[in-house]
């Protein structure tokens, strides 16, 4: 069973890293134990630039890749020291499937979550913005709501349209389930004419997003963090033993 002559290279590397790390610390600081900053009970997830899905975008693009975010969300859910998650959005949107996957992950977390839209939470950023327990939008931040579309070559058959339509329904369902906006209102914003240059859709700004029921409140980092702390306290009261079901 253990006849593999070559030791696991990863394991070996880990050992080396640990060893040299300690030596480095002794050389630089004269001690092995470096005082650590107190661990934060709130972790922050930033969703910026384009949401990248199955296609890799050129490196000059600023992107949020779902293969980076999903493990971070799993770690935040699993780590008992992390009590809450703040999600900061400034995204132009991107891959619908990847965006919806992130939104579903955030909405299904058992720990309190708060989202804050700064700058923009456009397109597929909208479901992510409404996925948390509570959402904030900066007064000047905007959210563009528009129909699902594709770039590049598309096979022009009715099935393509149906596929897109179904995808759009998934977005609409998610947003209406997780925010105060009605399906009718959301569809109206999505398909209204005359708001965007040569395009259909609506650009909602700060207060408007709140008045439509899409976002809970207008606010910034201060409000978002105090709300998150409040939700954490509530969560603790509901589960007084602090038991995490493992």
Give the catalytic positions in this structure: 123, 146
Distance CA 14, CA 11 (A): 5
Of the residues 25, 42, 188, 230, which one makes contact with another protein according to CB under 8 A: 42
Least separation, in Å, of the C-beta of 209 and another protein?
A: 25
Degrees to nearest 5, angle at CA 95 with 128 and 207: 35
Kindly give the pairing relationship between strand 202-205 and strand 84-94: unpaired
Of the residues 5, 58, 194, 240, which one makes contact with another protein according to CB under 8 A: 58
| Stretch near another protein under the rule CB under 8 A, chosen from 39-47, 93-101, 103-111, 175-183 | 39-47
Q: Which is nearer to another protein, 42 or 213 (CB)?
A: 42
Distance CA 244, CA 246 (A): 6
Measured between alpha carbons, how far is residue 198 from residues 28, 123, 184, 195 in Å? 61, 16, 23, 9
Least separation, in Å, of the C-beta of 205 and another protein?
A: 28
* Binding-residue total with another protein (CB under 8 A): 25
Contact 147, 189 (CB under 8 A): no
Q: Which structure tokens are listed for 72?
A: 């971070």
Q: Which residues pair with 134 in a beta bridge?
A: 114
Least separation, in Å, of the C-beta of 36 and another protein?
A: 9
The three-class DSSP label of residue 77 is helix
Distance CA 219, CA 86 (A): 14
By CB under 8 A, the residues from 14 to 33 that bind another protein are 16-17, 20
Q: Which is nearer to another protein, 82 or 101 (CB)?
A: 82
Of the residues 47, 51, 76, 131, which one makes contact with another protein according to CB under 8 A: 76
- Is 40 near another protein (CB under 8 A)? yes
By CB under 8 A, the residues from 159 to 218 that bind another protein are none
Q: Which x/- pattern, by CB under 8 A, does the window 144-163 give for another protein?
A: -------xxx----------
- Is 106 near another protein (CB under 8 A)? no
Distance CA 136, CA 31 (A): 45
Q: How many CB atoms lie within 10 A of CB 56?
A: 10
Of the residues 1, 34, 37, 155, which one makes contact with another protein according to CB under 8 A: 37
């Amino acid at each position: 069973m253990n006849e593999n002559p070559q030791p696991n290279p990863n394991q070996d590397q880990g050992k080396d890293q640990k060893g040299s790390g300690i030596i480095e610390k002794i050389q630089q600081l004269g001690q092995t134990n470096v005082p650590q900053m107190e661990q934060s009970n709130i972790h922050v997830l930033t969703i910026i630039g384009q949401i990248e899905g199955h296609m890799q975008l050129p490196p000059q693009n600023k992107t949020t890749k779902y293969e980076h975010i999903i493990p971070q969300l799993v770690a935040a859910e699993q780590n008992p020291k992390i009590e809450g998650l703040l999600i900061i959005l400034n995204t132009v949107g991107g891959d619908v499937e990847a965006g919806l996957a992130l939104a579903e992950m955030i909405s299904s977390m058992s720990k309190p979550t708060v989202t804050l839209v700064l700058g923009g939470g456009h397109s597929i950023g909208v479901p992510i913005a409404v996925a948390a327990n509570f959402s904030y939008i900066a007064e000047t931040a905007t959210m563009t709501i528009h129909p699902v579309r594709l770039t590049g070559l598309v096979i022009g058959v009715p099935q393509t349209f149906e596929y897109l339509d179904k995808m759009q329904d998934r977005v609409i369902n998610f947003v209406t389930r997780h925010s105060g906006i009605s399906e009718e209102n959301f569809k109206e914003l999505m398909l209204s004419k005359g708001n965007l240059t040569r395009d259909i859709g609506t650009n909602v700004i700060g207060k408007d997003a709140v008045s439509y029921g899409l976002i809970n409140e207008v606010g910034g980092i201060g409000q978002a963090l105090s709300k998150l702390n409040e939700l954490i306290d509530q969560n603790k009261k509901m589960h007084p033993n602090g038991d995490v079901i493992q």
